[in-house]
Structure 1
Amino acid sequence: MANRKIGSGIYLVIDPAMDEVTLLNKLTLCLKEKLLAIQIWDNFKDKQNITELIRKICELCHAKHIPVLINNKWELLNNSLLDGVHFDKIPENYAAIKENINKPFLSGLTCTNDLTLVEWASENNLDYISFCSIFPSNTANSCELVNLSTIHQASKRYSLPIFLAGGIKPENIDQLKELNYAGIAVVSGIMSTDKPDESIKNYQEQLNSI
Structure 2
Amino acid sequence: MRNHTRAIRGGLYLVIDPAKGWEKVLPAVQQAIAGGIDIIQVWNHWHPEQQKTAFIEKICRAAHPYHIPVLMNEDWQLMNDTSLDGVHFDEIPASIDAIRQQVQRPFWGGITCGNDLQKVQWAVDNRLDYISFCSMFPSATANSCELVKIETVQAARALTNMPIFLAGGITPDNLSLFEGTGMNGVAVISGIMNAEDPQQKTHSYKQALHHIQQKTP
TM over 0.5: yes
Q: Which digits, 9 at most, give the CA deviation of each residue in 1:127-157, with x for residues without a partner?
A: 0000111111111111101110111111012
* Structure 1 residue 209: Cα displacement: 2.3
Identity of aligned residues (%): 46
Matched-pair contact (CA < 8 Å) for 1:5–1:127: no
Give the aligned partner of residue 2 of structure 1.
Answer: 2
Matched residue SS, 2:20: coil
* Structure 1 residue 181: Cα displacement: 1.2
- Note if 1:30 corresponds to 2:49: no
Give the aligned partner of residue 215 of structure 2.
Answer: none
Matched residue SS, 1:139: helix
Residue ranges of structure 1 left out of the alignment (5+ in a row) = none
Aligned partner letter, 1:108: G
Give the aligned partner of residue 173 of structure 2.
Answer: 171
Matched residue SS, 2:173: coil
Matched residue SS, 2:132: strand
* Structure 1 residue 102: Cα displacement: 2.4
Q: Does 119-128 or 149-158 show the bigger shift?
A: 149-158
Count of residue correspondences: 210
Aligned partner letter, 1:191: M
Give the aligned partner of residue 116 of structure 1.
Answer: 118
Q: Which digits, 9 at most, give the CA deviation of each residue in 1:176-204, with x for residues without a partner?
A: 11211110000000001121111101111
- Once superposed, what is the RMSD of the aligned Cα atoms? 1.1
* Structure 1 residue 107: Cα displacement: 0.2
Give the aligned partner of residue 91 of structure 2.
Answer: 89
In 1, distance between residues paired with 2:153 and 2:33? 29
Matched-pair contact (CA < 8 Å) for 2:135–2:146: yes
- Could you list the structure 1 runs, at least 4 aligned residues long, displaced by more than 2 angstroms after superposition: none
Residue ranges of structure 2 left out of the alignment (5+ in a row) = 213-217
Give the aligned partner of residue 210 of structure 2.
Answer: 208
* Structure 1 residue 206: Cα displacement: 1.6
Matched residue SS, 1:63: helix
Task: State TM-score, norm by structure 2.
Answer: 0.93
In 1, distance between residues paired with 2:210 and 2:53? 36
* Structure 1 residue 33: Cα displacement: 1.9
In terms of fraction of residues, the more helix-rich structure is: 2
* Structure 1 residue 93: Cα displacement: 1.7
Q: How do 1:59-74 residues align onto structure 2 when only pairs under 5 Å count?
A: 59-74=61-76
* Structure 1 residue 91: Cα displacement: 0.7
Matched-pair contact (CA < 8 Å) for 1:163–1:184: yes
In 1, distance between residues paired with 2:167 and 2:206? 15
Matched-pair contact (CA < 8 Å) for 2:176–2:208: yes
* Structure 1 residue 98: Cα displacement: 1.1
* Structure 1 residue 101: Cα displacement: 0.7
In 2, distance between residues paired with 1:95 and 1:209? 38
